[in-house]
Amino acid sequence: MAEDDSLLERQIYAAPHEPGCYLFKDARGKVLYVGKAIDLGNRVRAYLRPDADGRAHIPFLMRKAQSVEFIVVGNEKEALVLENNLIKRFRPHYNIQLASDDRTFVSVRIDMRHDFPRATIVHKYKHDGATYIGPYSSASKLYKTLEVLKRLYPLRLCSDHVMANRSRPCVYHEIGVCRAPCVAGMINKEDYAEILKGFIRVLNGQDPGVVKLLEQQMNEAAAELKFEKAAELRDTMLAVQETTMRQRAQVGLTKAVHRDVHGIHREADRLSIATLMYRDGKLEDSATREFQSLLPDDEVLSQFLMQFYERASFVPDEIVVPIELEGMDALAAWISDRAERRVQISCPQRGERAKQAEMASINARHAMKVRAETEQRNKQLLSALQEAAGLERTPVRMECFDISHGGGKDTVASGVCFIDGEPAKGQYRKYKIKTHDRNDDFASMEEVLRRRLRRGMEEGNLPDLIVIDGGPGQLNRVQQVFDELNVVGIDLVSLAKSRDKKRPGWETAWGEDAQRTAERIFLPGREEPITLDQRSPALYLLMRIRDEAHRFAITFHRQLRGKSQISSSLDSVPGVGPKKKKALIRKFGSPRGVKLAALEELKQVEGINEKLAQAIFDHFEQDRAELLAREEAKRAKAAEK
């Protein structure tokens, strides 16, 4: 080793010949790459030998790396676990990692040991003796499916705690979606078990009757020209169909096993990994994820499997991969420890598993092709938007903001983000308005944009385009914030919603048959708005991000309003403090249950004497009457269906 060797070279030559992990860092100490090795010394010295290691990322890494750190462990399995933890901690640029907001699979959990089991949606599989059905890649479609099934198979919906403390049926029984096993004599265990069997048969794809029923209802609605209802039934039918219909692979399994098959496809630095999930010998679901990395395929797949099975709701008995992985035995041992049983990882060269791995790789290739086509369309769409709206730059990152409140109360704002024309939900933000409590959308928007821009200028992550929901008034207030903070290099537009005609003369501009104005785009310093063709894809993109911001803001506002209503409804009762409120909630499950409770039931609550029970009962007299009226309306509506 020469005296003029760099710090990095001296550290590499001094590397221990032990198993462990190594961390390459830049001049500021930021971790660029984390790797593992059985012999650290032999592995990192290969980074100094030209052409000794054919991995494409090494030349780029070594230009930036200034130092390397080593962590020695006892064996290869410990190195594997440490590497995964370090990647999650430092998120190095040259490693791959699943996004923090990456979707996880969901399952339906049913505890058959309970006298009256209920079905719940869970994200994690536990070895707790319960039955798990799934996994399912789409939680929203599963929720939609269960919403349909609860009317056909009325299982209980309440928790064990609420059920144990109920003395009379709840509103779910009244509207026909629960058989009220909480009340003795309402249904016996045998009849309930039959309902549960039917529910499980549908989820397992053994009973297509539900899909046929929805299809019949959809056709009837369409025949009666109720097209909105028909469209809703169509979406529900497709969700139920996708959730419950089990597809058998063209290459079927010879035995009923639980198996995950992974395939990989690469084009330059883009990789796609497809996962086919077989349960009891049937192909139940699939998912594809894409990465951008110069790491070799085996290293990408190895890191992916570690992160995938660390968060998986269920780990199968077999895992099939298309290529040999370094340290595959150690990886199988780690996954087995997590599953608390033996899990086999194999790279088959022929036979049933090899054909399935090939099919998974075909799925990965197809997903990358679709993604490339989508990106190309979005690129053209963003260019069209830039030209149509006269923007200075292509709006690769767009952010839109909207305000929501109820008469000036619980005022909140949303900030949604689209990157390359697609929602980036991990970048969505919620805001509570802090500077005022009045009904002033202009002031609220001004506050939110000031907060967003200040943070963005500090962190260096400002968008290319900011879209405001509103007209020139909102736009001018936000432009004042831009001027105040000296913000440059960001395009700003506002999008005014289409609305009904309200003044004479518009029939000349829009045609005599027009009933609504066009969507209008306002730009700073320009008096007249831009009106695009209402069929324009560029306008549709703006409307899409505006509507998404509106939806996100309303959802957040409803959450806050619901919490405030829950807390205030019981807090407003004289004589009911925190302890008594907790006792009431424990007994009746919710403030709604307290409002519907009979006087005798209130008297039975611990800490509630006869006088206070009467006061609570009288306090909610009007609320009780309104709730009962709503229940009656729901029963009537359910009877019509």
Three-class HEC string of 270-284? EEEEEEEEEECCEEE
pLDDT in tens, 447-482: 889 999 999 998 888 999 999 887 888 888 889 889
User: Is the Cβ–Cβ distance between 421 and 541 less than 8 Å?
Assistant: yes
Instruction: Decide if 77 is inside a domain.
Output: yes
| Chosen domain end from 503, 533, 559 | 559
Nearest residue to 130 (alpha-carbon basis) of 148, 151, 113, 152: 113
Which residues constitute the domain of residue 25?
7-90
Q: How would you classify residue 132: left for phi > 0, otherwise alpha for psi between -120 and 50, otherwise beta?
A: beta
Compute CA distances 545 → 144, 399, 422, 475, whole Å: 24, 8, 9, 17
**Contact, 395 vs 464, CB < 8 A?**
yes
Can you name the residues that pair with 286 across neighbouring β-strands? 276
In CATH, what number is assigned to the domain containing residue 418?
Answer: 3.30.420.340
In a domain, 237, yes or no: no
Over the chain, what is the mean pLDDT? 81
- Angstrom distance (rounded) from CA 40 to CA 47: 12
Confidence check: pLDDT of 7 > 60: yes
pLDDT digits (tens, 9 = 90+) for 255-309: 678 899 999 999 988 999 999 888 877 777 788 888 888 888 999 999 999 888 8
Q: Where are the beta strands (DSSP E) in 111-245?
A: 119-122, 131-136
Residues 277 and 344 reside in one and the same domain: yes
Q: Is residue 119 part of a domain?
A: no
CA 423 to CA 6: how far, in whole Å?
45
For the stretch 76-128, pLDDT in tens is 888 988 998 898 888 898 888 776 555 567 788 888 888 888 888 887 767 67
Residue 637 confidence class, pLDDT cut points 50, 70, 90: low
Evaluate whether residue 528 is within a structural domain. Answer: yes
Q: Which of 559, 592, 617 is the last residue of a domain?
A: 559
> What is the total count of domains within the chain?
4
Looking at the structure, do residues 485 and 598 belong to the same domain, yes or no?
A: no
| Position 226 in a domain | no
What gap in Å lies between CA 385 and CA 379, rounded to an integer? 10
One domain, residues 473 and 524: yes
- Looking at the structure, tell me whether residues 424 and 339 fall in a common domain: no
Give, rounded to a whole angstrom, the gap between the first and last alpha carbons of the chain: 84
Q: Compute how many other C-beta atoms are within 10 angstroms of the C-beta atom of residue 106.
A: 21
C-alpha torsion sign, points 352, 357, 361, 366: positive
555 and 591, same domain (yes or no): no
Instruction: Mark residue 5 as left, alpha or beta (left: phi above 0; alpha: psi -120 to 50; beta: remaining).
Output: beta
DSSP code, position 246: P
Of 41, 58, 90, the position where a domain reaches its end is 90
d(CA 544, CA 395): 14
| Residue 401 shares a structural domain with residue 299 | no
pTM for the model stands at 0.61
Q: To which residue do tokens 């009106």 refer? A: 531
**Confidence check: pLDDT of 564 > 70:** no
pLDDT higher for 494 or 247?
494
How does DSSP classify residue 95?
S
Task: Read off the pLDDT of residues 148-162 as tens digits, 9 standing for 90 and up.
Answer: 777 777 888 887 777
User: What does the chain come to in residues?
Assistant: 641
